[in-house]
Amino acid sequence: MVLSRFRDGTARLVSGVRESKLRQWVPILLLFVLVVYLFMGSACFWFFEHHRHEQNVRKWYMNLAVNRRHFARSISSRIFNDTRNLLIIIDREQTERVQQLLVESLKRYEDRMELKTPDKKEWTFLNAFNYAYGLLLTLGHGAKVPETTGGQVSMEVTRN
């Protein structure tokens, strides 16, 4: 009888100690799960959005260069074709040189205009982590929105 009471008492004591130690680790465990959840969400955003954003930035700069060259060609053709009393014959090399000078002048003009270029580092892993953190805390995410279907699905999973 005494022995069974002693066993029951020590069993309760040991289970109480185990339970209290487990309770001490619950906040740390929850924090760890939260951090893993954020890293998984940011990895999804980075995976889905990084390459698409790089393509959009490259496309923007290519379109800018093409538009600049097209505009320089149209200016040079208007200059040389619209002058009826031009006595000097201009060859192809000089025309290309004039177009190149116009392109360089347009570049300098665009630099002074301070065109809003797309952010080259918008979807880095750190920015994706910040986006996932903002979604989780419902702080809002500003103008940054996933464009791909996978990124939008990840946004809904992370947000809810």
Q: How does pLDDT run across 104-140, given as a tens digit for each residue?
A: 888 777 777 777 777 767 788 888 888 888 887 776 6
32 pLDDT band, cuts 50/70/90, is very high
Give the per-residue pLDDT at 70: 83
Spell out the domain ranges in the chain: 2-159
Residue bearing the bigger pLDDT, 50 or 145: 50
Give the per-residue pLDDT at 54: 86
Tokens of 143: 């103008």
Q: How does pLDDT run across 66-83, given as a tens digit for each residue?
A: 888 888 777 776 666 655
Tell the burial category of 67 from Cβ atoms under 10 Å away from its Cβ (0-12, 13-18, 19+): exposed
Tell the burial category of 46 from Cβ atoms under 10 Å away from its Cβ (0-12, 13-18, 19+): buried
- N- to C-terminal Cα separation, the chain: 56
